[in-house]
Amino acid sequence: METKHLRNWEDEMNICIRCAYCFEGCPVFKELGWDTDSPRGKIILSYGLLTAEIEPSQKIADKIFQCTFCKDCVERCSSSVSVPDILEAARAELVDAGFATDTHKYIMNNVKETGNIYGDTEVMVQESDGDTPVFLGCQYLSRPNKTKKYLKILSKLGIKPKVQEETCCGFSMKALGFTKDFEEQKKKFLKLYPHKEIIALCPTCTMFLKEEYGLKVKHAMQVILEKLPKADLDMKVTWHDPCDLSRGLGIIEEPRAILEKLGCEVVEMKNSKKQSRCCGGGGGILMSDEPLSDKIALTRIKEALETGVDTVVTSCPTCETVLKKAATEINENEGTNMVVRNIEDIIWKGLK
């Protein structure tokens, strides 16, 4: 097998000293427990693909796709090995070798045909000709009521959103190894969305537009914090840090400051901020291994329950979705009463 993607990362793979610091916070390793489930193990598998010591197979592909791209390993690595980049390349090799799942192909086809991961041909977001370009992203395009609320919040705070037709930023294509499709999608994005300074609603889109496209992007919470008036909601909550927001963008204190400004007491989980535990929804794992994603989400909800509060707040629609599912399961099975809410719901309540 020709390894045109992984060969660019050979030096990076050799930097890994096999120390196993990455085991400590890896959500996949915590649930499954085998070396091949760890970042170190996946780098070894990737190196085996590069050197042809390992033949590509569905078993290898299953392991390489079992990663949430949470970046906890990068945060803990003494050598700062870029595990997600290596695994993107390994996934690209496996996709080229014919080991993409039908689900992956279905999602990619959705993006190519409709411009969003859900294949929604009738996106119902009202366009507006404001001063500040706001990129919604696939997740918010699929949630029109939440999107309207977010845009109303920005308007109430004196920001005039410019909302226009858009297409997927292509993160899922790149993360899942569909490199040829991504390059085509990137051209579509740049043609349709020429803005250089953007507010984005989704943490993953924010990070990707900044890192991959080199755009000046702020997450909506950074802008909201500057303009938000104080309120007295008298709530006690815990905050779940989305991986792309905290470890990816370093946006950690802003959401906590927003909640405190609104009169919310924030009780921290034992794993928080840059050491936050992943929700289990990232890196395409929802498409490739939903049962594993569910297990990781349940672990996170159990951490939230340990704080003694009954409300988890986050800002990532993927985190919100998988954590709500886990909270519903644990509430039904154990009689708990955990609620998961997106931060725009709390902000809207404080502004009313």
Q: What is the CATH number of the domain that holds 256?
A: 3.40.50.1860
First to last CA, the chain: 60
Which structure tokens are listed for 80?
Answer: 């700062």
Is the pLDDT score of 177 beyond 80? Answer: yes
Regarding whether 311 and 245 lie in a shared domain, the answer is: yes
Is the pLDDT score of 120 beyond 80? Answer: yes
With 0.75 as the threshold, say if the pTM is over it: yes
Which structure tokens are listed for 323?
Answer: 């954590």
Is the pLDDT score of 280 beyond 70? Answer: yes
Domains: count for the chain: 3
pLDDT band for 1, please (50, 70, 90 cuts): low
Structural domain contains residue 252: yes
Question: Could you tell me the residue range of the domain that residue 30 belongs to?
Answer: 6-96
Regarding whether 239 and 160 lie in a shared domain, the answer is: no
Query: What CATH number did the domain enclosing 214 receive?
Result: 3.40.50
Which of the residue ranges 37-51, 125-139, 205-219 would you say has the lowest mean pLDDT? Answer: 125-139
Query: What CATH number did the domain enclosing 53 receive?
Result: 1.10.1060.10
Is the pLDDT score of 326 beyond 70? Answer: yes
> Tell me, what's the pLDDT at 2?
66
Is the pLDDT score of 163 beyond 90? Answer: yes
Is the pLDDT score of 265 beyond 90? Answer: yes
Q: Find the length of the chain.
A: 352
> Tell me, what's the pLDDT at 286?
87
Regarding whether 347 and 234 lie in a shared domain, the answer is: yes
Is the pLDDT score of 124 beyond 80? Answer: no
> Tell me, what's the pLDDT at 303?
97
Structural domain contains residue 1: no
Average pLDDT value for the chain: 94
Domain boundary among 224, 255, 275: 224
Regarding whether 344 and 296 lie in a shared domain, the answer is: yes
Which residue from 208, 209, 267, 217 is spatially nearest to 243, judged by alpha carbons? 208
Regarding whether 310 and 273 lie in a shared domain, the answer is: yes
Say if CB 338 and CB 301 are below 8 A apart. yes
**What is the spatial distance between Cα 65 and Cα 48, in angstroms, rounded to a whole number?**
16
Contacts 24+ apart (CB under 8 A), 71-75: 71/243, 71/244, 71/247, 71/248, 72/22, 72/25, 72/26, 72/27, 72/243, 72/247, 72/275, 72/278, 73/22, 73/25, 73/26, 73/39, 74/247, 75/25, 75/247, 75/274, 75/275
Which structure tokens are listed for 46?
Answer: 């990737």
Q: Tell me the three state secondary structure of residue 216.
A: strand
Is the pLDDT score of 115 beyond 70? Answer: yes
Regarding whether 65 and 16 lie in a shared domain, the answer is: yes
Q: Is the dihedral of CA 112, 316, 26, 293 positive or negative?
A: negative
pLDDT band for 76, please (50, 70, 90 cuts): very high
Regarding whether 325 and 257 lie in a shared domain, the answer is: yes
Domain boundary among 193, 224, 255: 224
> Tell me, what's the pLDDT at 3?
74
> Tell me, what's the pLDDT at 125?
75
Regarding whether 42 and 24 lie in a shared domain, the answer is: yes
Structural domain contains residue 202: yes
Is the pLDDT score of 123 beyond 90? Answer: no
Structural domain contains residue 290: yes
Regarding whether 247 and 205 lie in a shared domain, the answer is: no
Strand partners, 171: none
Regarding whether 340 and 254 lie in a shared domain, the answer is: yes
Residue where the block lists tokens 């977010």: 150
**What is the spatial distance between Cα 160 and Cα 323, in angstroms, rounded to a whole number?**
32
- Alpha helix segments (H runs only) across 52-175: 58-65, 72-76, 83-96, 102-114, 137-141, 144-156, 171-175
Domain boundary among 202, 224, 246: 224
Structural domain contains residue 113: no
> Tell me, what's the pLDDT at 127?
82
Regarding whether 251 and 156 lie in a shared domain, the answer is: no
Regarding whether 78 and 47 lie in a shared domain, the answer is: yes
Is the pLDDT score of 233 beyond 80? Answer: yes
